[in-house]
Amino acid sequence: MRALAVSIVCALAAVVTPAPAFAQPVHYDIAVHLEPATRVLEATARITVKAPEATTIALARTLAADYILVDGEPLTARGVTRGGERVWPVAARRGGHAIEIRWRGIVAPIDLSLDHRGTLGRPVAASGPDGTFLPSGSYWYPVIGNSLGSYRVAIDLPAGQRGIVAGRLVEETVAEDGAHAVFEFAHPAEGIDLMAGPYRVETRAVRTTRGSDVALRTYFAPEIAELSKSYLDAVQGYIDLYEARIGPYPFTEFSVVSSPTPTGFGMPTLTYLGESVLRLPFIRATSLGHEVLHNWWGNGVYPDLASGNWAEGLTTFMADYAYKEQAGDDAAREMRLGWLRDLAAVPPGHDQPLRAFTARTHGMSQIVGYNKSAMVFLMLRDTLGTEAFDRGLRRFWLEQKFRVASWRDLQRAFEAESGRDLAMFFTQWLEREGLPSVRIAEASRATSGGTHLVRITLAQDTPAYGLRVPLRVQTEQGDEMHTVQLASGRQSFEIEVRARPTEITLDPEFRILRRLDQAELPPILRQTMVAPAVVVALAVPGAEWTPQAKRLAGRLIDAAPVFVDEGASLPRDPALLVIGRHAEVDAFLARNGLPARPPAVAGTGSAQVWAATRPGGAPLLIVSAGDLGSLGAVERLVPHYGRQSYLVFAGRRIIARGVWPSPAGGRALR
């Protein structure tokens, strides 16, 4: 089961590390009866263990085993306590074991006040009329060793309730006295997670464009049942998209299941999302596709966590990033720039090699595991070309479906399809911490026999990375893109161009992983929001705006705001927040030698918010409104758009937003 931090990206919450190769050592056949009103769980299991080695049976301590039979004999060994579980040893036996267990108990009440992080931190089996979640990590069923297992689960629930586990629905009856459903999962799974609730279930049997028969379902709380059609449409679109790019969908169903808590989990064949999350319109356009794609990368091919999790980066590249590419060049560029900005903000010593990313923890490892990893796939596609890259993906899928695969297996597939040796590429991006910092050391123009040339020397720190560096040459007859192969700490190139060159820019589209210079980063709103010290100036006559402006400043910035009087001279160093009325803001900016209102926002909307840079380099944030009401209208929204450079509001609605073009000027050629 993978947990997803819903507004951002999902995080692989694999608690069990898959064995390097598996022969499906365990098969569970479970029948569970659950009464959400009383939270009483009663269940039986027949478990087949094929491996001959000694193993263990673990069950939550809150549940009690009525009996445990191992190969027909009552288990005599006493269980020991391990955390929240009771664990019984099972001796080695040639031919494995047949285990039978009956257990029962009362699970915890579902805590509707839990947020996503809270749900992540506590794998507790919980139930109630609004919903039931029995995560595998709660040991709600007897877990054998730490093996992967296939399973069959029969779920019995009272009338009005429906239940689901990942897998194929093989049998279902819904009657006045209750609901009965049987699911089978024939592949090795990390665990069994059971969900139930007062669901309205919608089913749509589809034949995909590649000819797979798939049952798509929504298990939605009645309050959001009307969203079902749009989710089914979206899932169908994603399955078609990824079948065309990778290969047939590996399962027979996909379900979107609602949760009463604001959570987000991804499992094979389903995603479990909070009702409040499912209501957000952008989830269908982003996170849902990411989760569907995990049925190929993550749940179809399992990452070998011991040698690094490639699945999050590849899924981010083929979902979140791909959707930006569909939206347009600017959106994709903005995402790349955002990744590089985050990576540039990782303090030295807090970085880690990509190979060390094994998921689950947030913060820095997420920046490396998602952003750096996705960027590695982008550079690989730029290096190999889209066709060879896609062939490599399809080969990897064919060879590794339902197996545990490593970065090395990915490398081999791309090498086989491209005919290139990618050892250096993978080694430098997986093994090294930090990023290369590449710069133009010298650049000039020349002519040779009537041919226009650019002579350029690139420099980077050593040990050097091997980099395919894009260069944009501005000429008197337009721009030309060139690519050079940088292999050492300092290297000179001669580039032939069609007309007299005037300027050259290194990687203007941010397509290579490198440590960005501060000067290359366009200002964004967040820089002032998180600055350690912020001076606030009000540019409006009288005191009528003051309470509202103070409240806005408090919401916007992390630091304690220091207000300066109108007309007082501004301290030079800190970040500056200016709040005011349009005309007075323009006068304030001019009087203080600050950049004027940009054309992209001027003359439109009821309020305008934008980021700029003070002459000394400190960040500047301006909130300019036509009247007091318009200022109040933006207060709640602005803090959510820290990654933007500007916002234009019409009342409470954002009618324009974006990131400024990068200030990274080219090097003028003489």
Site for Zn ion, rule CB under 5 A = 10, 312, 315
- Kindly state the smallest distance separating residue 284's Cβ from Zn ion, in Å: 16
Kindly tell me which of 376 and 538 has the beta carbon lying closer to Zn ion.
376
Which tokens go with 150? 């296939």
- Kindly state the smallest distance separating residue 299's Cβ from Zn ion, in Å: 10
Which tokens go with 117? 């992080």
**Contact residues for 377 (Cβ-Cβ < 8 A; gap 6+):** 313, 314, 317, 318
The one-letter amino acid code at 642 reads G
Kindly tell me which of 297 and 426 has the beta carbon lying closer to Zn ion.
297
By Cβ distance, which residue is nearest to Zn ion? 10
* 3 state SS for 167-186: CEEEEEEEECCEEEEEEEEE
Kindly tell me which of 140 and 297 has the beta carbon lying closer to Zn ion.
297
- Kindly state the smallest distance separating residue 112's Cβ from Zn ion, in Å: 26
* 3 state SS for 339-398: HHHHHHCCCCCCCCCHHHCCCCCCCHHHHHHHHHHHHHHHHHHHHHCHHHHHHHHHHHHH
Kindly tell me which of 10 and 70 has the beta carbon lying closer to Zn ion.
10
- Kindly state the smallest distance separating residue 517's Cβ from Zn ion, in Å: 31
Kindly tell me which of 135 and 266 has the beta carbon lying closer to Zn ion.
266
- Kindly state the smallest distance separating residue 44's Cβ from Zn ion, in Å: 35
The verdict on whether omega for the bond into residue 463 sits within 30 degrees of 0, i.e. cis, is yes
Kindly tell me which of 10 and 14 has the beta carbon lying closer to Zn ion.
10
Kindly tell me which of 17 and 457 has the beta carbon lying closer to Zn ion.
17
- Kindly state the smallest distance separating residue 315's Cβ from Zn ion, in Å: 5
Count other Cβ atoms within 10 Å, centred on residue 284.
19
Using DSSP's 3-state secondary structure scheme, residue 300 falls into: coil
Which tokens go with 458? 């690139």
* Bridge partners (DSSP) listed for residue 196: 132, 163
- Kindly state the smallest distance separating residue 319's Cβ from Zn ion, in Å: 8
Kindly tell me which of 258 and 271 has the beta carbon lying closer to Zn ion.
271
Instruction: Provide the H-helix boundaries in 470-557.
Output: 525-529, 546-556
- In angstroms, the CA 218 to CA 255 distance is 5
Q: Measuring CA to CA, which residue among 559, 663, 664 is closest to residue 621?
A: 559
Kindly tell me which of 87 and 364 has the beta carbon lying closer to Zn ion.
364
Residue tagged 């990033």 (tokens):
321
- In angstroms, the CA 110 to CA 135 distance is 12
- Kindly state the smallest distance separating residue 301's Cβ from Zn ion, in Å: 14
Residue tagged 């297996």 (tokens):
409
Using DSSP's 3-state secondary structure scheme, residue 13 falls into: coil
Segment holding 640, helix H or strand E: none
Using DSSP's 3-state secondary structure scheme, residue 240 falls into: helix
- Kindly state the smallest distance separating residue 10's Cβ from Zn ion, in Å: 3
